[in-house]
Chain A
Amino acid sequence: MKKYILLLFAASFFFSCSEDLIEVDPTTKVPAKDVYNTEDAIDAVRIGMYSQLAYRGDGALYTLMFPVLGDILADDMVYGDTWYQVWGTEYAYETRATSSGPKQIWNQSYYSVEITNTMIHEIDYSKVEGFSEDKAKQYVAEAKAVRAMVHVDLARYFGKAYHLDNGSSKAVPYVDKIGYSSTPGVVDLPERNTMKDIYAKAITDLNAAIPDLPLVNAGNSRYMNKNAAYAILARIYMDMHMYTEAKAAATSALEGVNLMNKDTYYQGGLSRVNDESLLVFVSDKDKYSKWRTFTSFHDNWDGMGDDFRANETLVALFADNDLRKHFFSPESDHENGSGYEYHKHYLKYPGYGVTVGKTSLGYYTYGKFPRIDAVIGETKGSLGLGEYNYIRGSEMVLIIAECAAREGASGETEAKNKLLEIQQRMISGASLSTNSGQNLIDEIIVEYRKEMFGEGHGHRLMLRLGNGLKRTGGNHTALLNLPAGDPKFQWPVPQSELDTNPNLAK
């Protein structure tokens, strides 16, 4: 008996004595060492980069923050004072180091940059079975172009407009290596780069990337592509007032691209990939909650979309024969289900010339970006999904027009033709402009505002034109008049970042 009992104890010891118990791997994570070893895993890293750009946690960098802040900070759009308004401080130009706006956009940008740097650093086709050199080059090129795009977009909020001081102001660090060493806690603490450095590095990255990137029209508009990279270059050169280079880049950006037609445009093409999409960010259904999509900020329905209104001064720019005027709400009531009403309205296509209604506060709701998950006949059950056209062909056409107009008399014909290309799509009976000189440039810029409103271009346009912020009229609650170069245009480095990197105080 005693023997058996002792045996039992001994057996229990050996039965449970296994070190396997403390060697466990997670099931929802992949060890980093396995990630750059297979083609499928590298594909997933690349997709992860776009996922990060579109959405991470509560920050949707390219499906909400950049597109929305780009208009909140300008004057054609009025940011509503609904009490849950998240960027009211930024709208009022009261941004402080402790505000949430700079912190969110800074953090999300650098999380994205880290992925690009890791990809550039880690992808090595020679080590991966079946992974072609071309594909490796393409992925690295995408990472470089994304790195350039994010840095330049971020820098505009923290630095001074480039042309004001030839880029000598300090903006943000251009991080182009893996930002931490293999010893935890020992990190490279970067300093702020000047706008000049940032733009130079971005141009270098983009030029390095372009040869290896595919064209957009091969189904690549949801990923970084050659046309988009050229378009980003064009934007950079516009900021730098280097119009020749900008025009060349914009021209290259349009290679193989046709503008979308009137029907597509009118029927909600701007919430989808369309013919002229150069770079689009997707809002995936399982990643979003309502309030946090680009479309939900613009399209009024079911208590959402209270955030943005078009200023009456913008609406006044549209002529009655402009089909784009139809985007503005025909009813001042923008309550439940009106997004769907818009949608129906576009489909009806009633012809030109409508009575434009105002909200009770004077500004206008609009249906330029209808949610794409609305069910016809239902006023409920939509998450406000839609894709965001970060860059589209029309912008490039207008850049070419503007650059040509800035060439002086020699470029005016080209400028007018390009302008007409945009105007004739939506304006019945549009004809070649009769303006010239500054008037022509002004007309192109007005066309740009009308064409691109709500798409996140306002801030960039305002900075590069150097006209300052003019919220002197219309429907703005916070009336403001800031001359170009006012320190309020430069956001302070977020406090949380200063707390961890004293170099940024320099």
Chain B
Amino acid sequence: MKKSLVSTLILMFIGLQGLLAQSREVSGIVTSAEDGLSIPGVSVIVKGTTIGTSTDFDGKYSINVPEGESILVFSFVGMTAQELAVKGSTMNVVMQPASVDVDEVMVVAYGTAKKESFTGSASVVKKDDIVKVSGGIGKVIQGKVAGVTVMGGDIRIRGFGSFSASSSPLYVVDGVVGAPKPNDEDIENFTVLKDAASTALYGSRGANGVIIITSKKGKKDKKPTFEVKYQHSVEKMIEPEWELMNAGEYYQHQFKGMVNYVGESRAYTYFNYYMNNKNPYNMAEPFNLDGSLKEGAKLLYDTNWKDEALENASKDEIYVAASGGSENSNYHWSARMYKYDGFVRTSKSKGANTRFNYTIDLRDNLKVNVNSTISYYEGSGTYTTKANENNHLYLSYVLSPAAPMYQLNQIDNGDGTHSYEYVLDKQGNRVYDYSNPNYKNYNPIGLMEADFDDNYGFSAFFAPSITYEVIDGLTLKGQLSGRLNTRRGDSFQNPYYGSGSTENGLSTKETYHTMDWTMHTSANYKFEVGDDHSFDVIVGYEAADYDYQDFYATKNGYSLGDISTELSTGNSPRYAGSSTTEVGLISYLSNLNYDFRDKYYMSASFRRDGSSKFGEDNKWGNFWSVGFSWRISEENFLSADWITNLKLRTSYGVLGTNDIGNYKFGDYYSLGANYGGITGVSHTNLPNAQLGWEESDNFSVGVDFDLFDSKLSGTIEYFNKNTDGLLYNVPLPTTTGFPSVLMNIGEMQNSGFEMELSGKILSGEFNWNADLTMTYIKNEIKSLPVDQVIQGTKRWIAGDSRYEYYIREWAGVDPEDGRAQWYMDQENADGTVEKVKTKSYSKATRYNMGQSTPKFFFGLNNNLSYKGFDFSVQTVAAFGHKIYDGQYQTFMHDGSGKATNLAKDALNSWTPENTNTDIPKYRWANNTSSNSTSSRWLVDGDFVKIKNITLGYTVPERFLDKMFLNYARVFMTVDNVHSFSDYKSGDPEISLAGVSNGYSFNPATTYRMGINIKF
């Protein structure tokens, strides 16, 4: 305020000279593209003169432009300066935030750093990108930050760190590890820290990279501004390219399978029995014994369980915020509410959260900040995460389409055929039929109505901090954060049908709560020695504690149904239990940044962590890093105009991972091994006192550049991460009495290149920016203490990727008998090995069949704007990997899955008439393993995906004024627009392990539209 007043006075004084000449007046208002608010204090100068002014408190200006001058220069700190030709007497200007600014300050571990001086590798993502793409950090990062792999829900920074410990990055929100993630709208920016120099300060938790989120804060001296955003979205499941069979196809196929099994004479007897006498046709025996349809046979009904169970999901969200500040304080408050109707008909949830951030300067050198979040959610009717018959989603996929949804009465037509009519209850409603052949007594649609599985959660987070500048340059910081998280689960299974029936009704109540706190104290001293040497030192101490408690109880015997589902109603206890867990971490940390002549930079950090997760001998770990950078562009020998910035940097450091679960090191007996009502214990943990941290050595070298007046900027980097002492549950021969033991085994390398390029292709009225990222990652196991570890579809062996498929190789169907074939290595008498076909699955040899993680990732974001319109397209691509299509496999079984439904493709199975096929003979109760794990289900995983398209329109100010608004934008966005790939079962962007699940929700194509206003 003071500053802008002074500059206005000075500029006005200078401007007096201009009045003397012939001139015209130009006026207007300057606003920020960021928030649409007017900007006071923007300098407006007539180019080539000393004539200038600055905008007033409301962002308005007025200037006299002398004859012969036609260009105005608008500039403001943190915004890109604009030179605009004078057109007319009113010029409203929208200032763009400076996107590539060498003086940019970014948030890094335990502090901030100027981008130019930072020795580590980090990418900053700004709020514009976050708000536009919306839908979580993973989505935003993808294609925006090189070196980051996002597959399905997995986010990995620079490779795949671990075997069994978590490889997910660490999240830090406003300085607090693991604090609740803010709403997208509340994020100011986030920084992805990738190399040792930038993450080593997080020590034992930094090995997988760190994502630091900074939330929005209010601005001092600013009137309150309000923001409201509403959006509605519809999610449409991405359907597989194959379809499930309908009732007719299914029934006929099963009949043929039964003939193949028990022979023609017994076929109908067995078929009717196993189909539970549910016949969708109008005659008792609709097929001839060769499987063909009899004349006059007509399908009477067809049950599409999936369609009945699932629908498009939809979500409504509203966000409101207020922020502002006074002379010595600022605040930002926000609240978000949402309501979500899930894919499963009865699945619904809603929730709300509110955040408040307040900073006050108690004195010039004493600042207090409070950050708090409270959130609540409730969800209902989602029996989608349980096993088999208790999973309604699963049932809706596998149930026989030839079983009726509602009970039917058979009416004899008197001519050998029959028809059906619905059984009606006394109110005239149809009655659900629970007698399908697959899961007797289960009807997912009926159960959705009769059973429930609700949960409620509440969480409160509070983090006060105090910053005190003791003397010039020396700052002390103290921060305490605490979180309470409670969740309650409430489920009921009715006494009549489904799983509850054997229990005569079953009710479960469970609750858990977690409490965690972190205490941080640090001192930061910045000083200079002479003109050339700057130092920045941090020393600190941190302690963290996490407590978990749960309690659950189940009773059965609810003969009144759901009239009351309280535990006191049930007549017999079933299970009850409780558990507690505590985890502690103590850390000492230090960091030094040194800067010589703003040209050469050095950083060093050291952290010592003590964790409760490890045994006596290995509780403490030391982690450190060093980094160097050199701004070559500051050297005299390289002072070209077109180089704004050119920086070379390198770092090396040692980081750790401790994310392995608790109490893994000890020799323990578990409680609960009771027998005949008497307390028992059983030996479940094999001890490993030597269990220690996973350590990774990280080397990185890269170059940052900013060329042609920031028209082209980016980073090219090489990284190499060697992880030693990998934590893994090594499978043991069970003759030891244990399935596995957690050990530090082996060594793994992740190395690769990454590149980020940002280009301003067009600027001016029509704006076009593009970001391109490319990542190449090579993962290789360097050594293992055992020859190999076979883990599901993968084998770990020195020299291969940890994600290398190691499965049997499919050799097609023998046209003679319809049996499946695989390849096997056969040793000939002369010792040579020959690859031959075999029909014995267990004799078939397992081979390396390619890896499940892509070798190359690409991301391309295009942002275009013209006048009020903005348009962006995000495209991602991945190459060099394979997907194991477990979903297709489930629905292409050969009869081993008995009466479960199949994909229509299975109709092309081998028969004596149809021998030219790759689908084996269908036979009820098939034991030939033909649809067991093999390369039959492996497809090329390469894909190109249009991840997001967004179209927005910002309403021009001349309309806004009338509505008393500062900013209004309407937008439409589509997520997961389309993918190009060979994978047939939906979205090809699945988890890193590359195995798609037999029944799960595919990611959805989401259509979102909304409005965002500020006033």
Which A residues form the contact surface with B (CB < 8 A)?
A: 2, 5-6, 8-9, 12-13, 15-33, 35, 41, 44-52, 54, 56, 81-85, 88-89, 92, 94, 96-98, 106-107, 110-111, 113-115, 117-118, 173, 175, 178-180, 182, 184-185, 187-190, 222, 282, 284-287, 290, 302-304, 306, 359-361, 375, 378, 380-384, 477-478, 492, 495-497, 499-501, 504
Contacts and interface: CB of A to CB of B under 8 A. Distances in A.
A30 B262 CA distance: 54
Nearest to A108: B734
Chain B CB count within 10 A is highest, among A12, A46, A304, for A12
Contact of B679 (A44, A282, A496, A499): A44
Contact of A24 (B470, B519, B612, B667): B612
A182 B731 CA distance: 16
Contacts of B543: 16-18, 21
A173 B476 contact: no
Which are the 4 A-B pairs with shortest beta-carbon distances? Answer: A114-B737, A381-B504, A83-B898, A47-B680
B975 to A, nearest CB: 38
Contact of A48 (B439, B495, B556, B673): B673
Contact of B731 (A32, A85, A286, A500): A500
Contact of B733 (A84, A98, A492, A501): A501
A26 B664 CA distance: 10
Contacts of A41: 681
Contact of B612 (A23, A50, A84): A23
B682 A33 contact: no
A180 B739 CA distance: 12
Nearest to A21: B584
A110 B735 contact: yes
A385 B56 CA distance: 83
13 contacts: A12-B480, A21-B585, A21-B612, A31-B666, A48-B681, A83-B899, A98-B932, A106-B734, A107-B734, A110-B736, A179-B735, A184-B690, A290-B499
A17, A173, A178: most-surrounded residue (chain B CB, <10 A): A17
Contacts of A361: 269-270, 273
Given A24-B612, A84-B898, A500-B733, 7 more contacts: A21-B584, A47-B675, A81-B274, A94-B928, A110-B734, A185-B743, A190-B735
Given A9-B478, A381-B557, A32 B736 contact: no
Looking at B262, B438, B735, B790, the one whose CB has the most chain A CB atoms below 10 A away is B735
B685 interface: yes
A306 B580 CA distance: 41
Contacts of A98: 841-842, 929, 932
Nearest to A119: B683
Nearest to B897: A83
Interface residues of B, number: 105
Contacts of B86: none
Contacts of A477: 261-262, 270, 925
Given A12-B521, A29-B668, A180 B495 contact: no
B681 A30 contact: yes
A184 B731 CA distance: 11
A96 B842 contact: yes
B541 interface: yes
Nearest to A107: B734
Nearest to A381: B504
Contacts of B502: 290, 302, 304, 380-384
A47 B674 contact: yes
Contacts of B50: none
Interface string B451-490: 0000000000000001010100000101010000000000
Given A89-B927, A381-B502, A19 B586 contact: yes
Contacts of B739: 107
B208 to A, nearest CB: 21
B671 interface: yes
A114 B673 CA distance: 15
Contact of A83 (B581, B667, B683, B900): B900
Contact of A45 (B261, B681, B686, B738): B681
B558 to A, nearest CB: 9
A62 B741 CA distance: 26
Interface string B883-909: 000000000000001111000000000
Contacts of B925: 81, 85, 88, 92, 477-478
B681 A96 contact: no
B190 interface: no
A180 B669 contact: no
Contacts of B545: 21
A32 B585 contact: no
Interface in B914-946: 924-925, 927-929, 932
B437 interface: yes
B741 A22 contact: no
A94 B927 contact: yes
B703 interface: no
A282 B478 CA distance: 59
Contacts of B741: 180, 184-185
A16 B519 contact: yes
B366 interface: yes
B900 A9 contact: no
Contact of A380 (B501, B684, B841): B501
B730 interface: yes
Contact of B579 (A5, A28, A45, A359): A28
Contacts of A97: 842
A47 B673 contact: yes
A201 to B, nearest CB: 14
Residue from A13, A44, A110, A382 having most chain B Cβ neighbours under 10 A: A44
Contacts of B468: 5, 9
Interface string B692-734: 0000000000000000000000000000000000000011111
A282 B676 contact: yes
Nearest to B261: A477
A51 to B, nearest CB: 4
A48 B612 contact: no
B862 interface: no
B771 to A, nearest CB: 43
Residue with the greatest number of chain A CB neighbours at <10 A, chosen from B441, B610, B681, B897: B681
Given A30-B668, A31-B667, A19 B610 contact: yes
A18 B584 CA distance: 10
A298 B670 CA distance: 32
A22 B675 contact: no
B734 A96 contact: no
Interface string B65-87: 00000000000000000000000
A54 B675 CA distance: 8
A493 to B, nearest CB: 10
B610 A26 contact: no
Nearest to B684: A29
B476 A26 contact: no
A495 B842 contact: yes
B496 to A, nearest CB: 8
A492 B842 contact: yes
A111 B674 CA distance: 16
Contacts of B173: none
A341 to B, nearest CB: 16
Contacts of A290: 499, 502
A271 to B, nearest CB: 15
Nearest to A371: B502
Interface in B729-759: 730-739, 741, 743, 745
Contact of B669 (A32, A222, A380): A32
B294 interface: no
A180 B366 contact: no
Interface string B582-605: 111110000000000000000000
B481 to A, nearest CB: 12
A439 B735 CA distance: 44
Interface string B498-510: 0101111100000
Contacts of B924: 81
B956 interface: no
B677 interface: yes
